[in-house]
Amino acid sequence: MKVERPRALAAALGLLGDAAAPLVPLAGGTDLLVHWPVRPDARTRGYLDLQRLDELRGIRWSEDALELGALATYWDVITDSRVGAEFPILVEAARQVGAIQIQSRGTWAGNVANGSPAADGVPVLMAFGAVIVLESRQGRREVPLDAYYSGYREGARREAELIVAIRIPRRAHALQRFVKVGPRRAQAIAKVGLAVARSEEGWRVVAASVAPTVRRCRAVERRLEERGLPGSPEELDDALRADVAPIDDLRSTADYRARVLARVLFDATRKGGA
Amino acid sequence: MHGSPELPLSFTLNGDAVSVEADPAARLLDLLRYDLGMTGTKEGCGEGECGACTVWIDGLPADSCLVPAFQVDGREVRTIESVDPARLGPLLSSGATQCGACTPGVVMTGLWILENPGLLRSHAIRELMAGNLCRCTGYDGIIEGIEAALGTRS
Ligand SMILES: Cc1cc2nc3c(=O)[nH]c(=O)nc-3n(C[C@H](O)[C@H](O)[C@H](O)COP(=O)(O)OP(=O)(O)OC[C@H]3O[C@@H](n4cnc5c(N)ncnc54)[C@H](O)[C@@H]3O)c2cc1C
Ligand code: FES
Ligand code: FES
């Protein structure tokens, strides 16, 4: 097992760019270290440890955006009172990721890069219109999170790129909701996840665990813009069917997921809705 | 045994400076138990679910089974061995421990709450303890133990 531990981003990007010796970025390790190192390929892989890259730590505010560095953890967000005041569902979602032992190490960028359809960080970020900032030796590019995934665990990141930051535009929100439906309250993977945000840009509705990727529900958003709030969960069914494709798996069934999603979405749009 | 070059690392362990060479594939849990002989930290699940392996890294609880040893280079690690047994009385009163498999982890998270009581302004003890599973006690004893310890803090 080869491990590189650079102290500067430029050095890290230099190492990542070597196509002959691909490296797997390692941040909090809460996804990568499960079953480590007994995964068949773990000992032959090379890893790029990001933990010494102080440039990627922390949370930064500017006039029009909140920027999470690639090493910003759930706990960093939970303990930042400004985030709690302006983006309360970021804190709510973070508090439902595992428990403190995971929140203290797990990063938002790792959640995005890992690409699980059941992720809890990704839906709230997507509901806020977050942009993923990628950097390689060749320079920076930005990909809106709602255009980041192309398939199950397939993201826009190229092997030579790191996610260096997540930028969240600061919009005034009339409503923000996060709902995680799981088998129990703590330390559980979502059977259905939902993030809803309503700003001057309109509705943003994002669902998790009901498609191969976390999914922005554009038909539902259109439905809400054009026809206002639904009178019953069933009124959302047609739009939802266009947006998501839940499946049966070991955690739940397609039918349960579809019905629960319609119900929690109905509740989320109504509570405090205009 | 592994064929990978050892990685040098230096960190603070329970207040003492430690310098070791670690297998790149070693988890912090392995480093503590097998290289440093500090077997107080337990392995339950090995995948981040149970919290038996909880230690502090830079003042925050973490599952040592999910941390590669090399990531503690330059950091401060605190384990159950640092805990004065005199402090365990109130923490483990009211049936907070039975078989004991979860106890080192429970103590490390409980101690974190005791030393950071401001956390309770935003969090309930139960939420903060959610990453420490216990098959024996049904949790009420653990929560009551921490409450009792909070009450008797000097
Ligand atoms: C017990 C347990 C409970 C969990 N509960 C939840 C939960 O409730 N909800 C949830 O969403 N997740 C959960 N997770 C999964 C995990 O904690 C999160 O996905 C976390 O955000 C991963 O971040 P990390 O920094 O630990 O990632 P790592 O394990 O370090 O990396 C994850 C992936 O991202 C890549 N990566 C990391 N950082 C970068 C970067 N800057 N640039 C490019 N690629 C990068 C890595 O190469 C890897 O593929 C849980 C995990 C465990 C073990
Ligand atoms: S052994 Fe680490 S969490 Fe279970
Ligand atoms: S006392 Fe047995 S697992 Fe907790």
CA distance B68 to B51: 16
pLDDT of residue B3: 52
pLDDT of residue A186: 67
Give the closest ligand to the alpha carbon of residue A34: 1
Pick A101's closest partner by Cβ from B4, B61, B73. B61
Q: How far is the CA of B62 from the centre of ligand 3 (A)?
A: 19
Question: Which residue's alpha carbon is at the smallest distance from atom 3 of ligand 3?
Answer: B134
pLDDT of residue B87: 85
Entry pTM: 0.96
Contact by Cβ (8 Å): A94, A83: no
Question: Does the domain made of B83-150 have the CATH classification 3.40.1670.10?
Answer: no
Q: A with B: how many residue pairs have Cβ under 8 Å apart?
A: 96
> Looking at this protein, which amino acid is placed at residue A32?
L
| Least confident among A183-197, A235-249, B37-51, B73-87 | A183-197
- CB under 8 A, 24+ apart: contacts of A52-61: A52/A5, A52/A6, A52/A7, A52/B73, A52/B74, A53/A6, A53/A7, A53/A8, A53/A9, A53/A12, A54/A7, A55/A8, A55/A9, A56/A9, A56/A164, A56/A165, A59/A83
Query: Is any ligand 3 atom within 6 A of the Cβ of residue B97?
Result: yes
B75, B76, B77, B82: CA torsion to nearest 10: 170
Q: ∠ at Cα B105 (A182, A180), nearest 5°?
A: 15
Interface of A with B in 164-203 (CB under 8 A): 185-187
Those residues whose C-beta lies under 8 Å from the C-beta of residue A273, and which sit 6 or more positions away, are A175, A198, A229
CATH homologous superfamily of B7-81: Beta-grasp domain (3.10.20.30)
pLDDT of residue A41: 67
Contact by Cβ (8 Å): A164, A145: no
Domain with CATH 1.10.150.120 in chain B: 83-150
Question: Which candidate in A101, A104, A105, A185 is best for mutational testing of the B interface (most B CBs within 10 A)?
Answer: A101
CA distance A171 to A54: 28
Pick A100's closest partner by Cβ from B47, B61, B68. B61
Give the closest ligand to the alpha carbon of residue B99: 3
Label residue B154 by pLDDT band (50, 70, 90). Answer: very low
CA distance A150 to A140: 20
Residue A67's CB is within 10 A of a number of other CB atoms, namely 18
CA distance A178 to A264: 10
pLDDT of residue A270: 86
Q: Which atom of ligand 1 is nearest to the CA of A188?
A: 8
| Least confident among A43-52, A198-207, B20-29, B77-86 | A43-52
* Ligand 1 site, CB within 6 A: A 24-32, 34, 50, 70, 96-98, 102, 105-107, 109-111, 113-114, 119-121, 157, 162-163, 187; B 48-49
Residue A101 with chain B: CB contacts under 8 Å = 48, 51, 54, 61-63, 66, 109, 131
Label residue B1 by pLDDT band (50, 70, 90). Answer: very low
% of chain B residues with pLDDT over 70: 95
Question: Where do the domains of chain A lie?
Answer: 174-270
CA distance A79 to A104: 11
- Do the bridges between strand B60-63 and strand A23-26 make them parallel or antiparallel, or are there none, so unpaired? unpaired
Contact by Cβ (8 Å): B42, B134: no
pLDDT of residue A15: 96
CA distance A77 to A71: 11
Residue B71 with chain A: CB contacts under 8 Å = 26, 29, 49, 51
pLDDT of residue A258: 86
At residue A82, φ and ψ (nearest 5 deg) are: -65, -40
Query: Is any ligand 3 atom within 6 A of the Cβ of residue B79?
Result: no
At residue A254, φ and ψ (nearest 5 deg) are: -60, -40
| pLDDT tens per residue, range A90-149 | 999 999 999 999 999 999 999 999 999 999 999 999 999 999 999 999 999 999 999 999
pLDDT of residue A274: 39
- In the block, residue with structure tokens 């192309």: A150
Tell me the best of B27, B42, B45, B57 to mutate to test the pocket of ligand 2, counting ligand atoms within 8 Å of each CB and taking the most: B45
Residue A80 with chain B: CB contacts under 8 Å = none
Tokens found for residue A192:
């259905």
Interface of A with B in 42-101 (CB under 8 A): 42-43, 47, 49, 51-52, 75, 95, 98-101
Average pLDDT over residues A210-219: 96
Average pLDDT over residues B133-137: 94
A82, A83, A86, A87: CA torsion to nearest 10: -170
- In the block, residue with structure tokens 């090379």: A46
Residue B132 with chain A: CB contacts under 8 Å = 99
Q: Which atom of ligand 3 is nearest to the CA of B142?
A: 4
Angle of helix B103-115 relative to helix B140-151, nearest 10 degrees, comes to: 40
Label residue A219 by pLDDT band (50, 70, 90). Answer: very high
pLDDT of residue A273: 45
Label residue A247 by pLDDT band (50, 70, 90). Answer: confident
Label residue B50 by pLDDT band (50, 70, 90). Answer: very high
CA distance A241 to A42: 39
Query: Is any ligand 3 atom within 6 A of the Cβ of residue B135?
Result: yes
CATH homologous superfamily of A174-270: CO dehydrogenase flavoprotein, C-terminal domain (3.30.390.50)
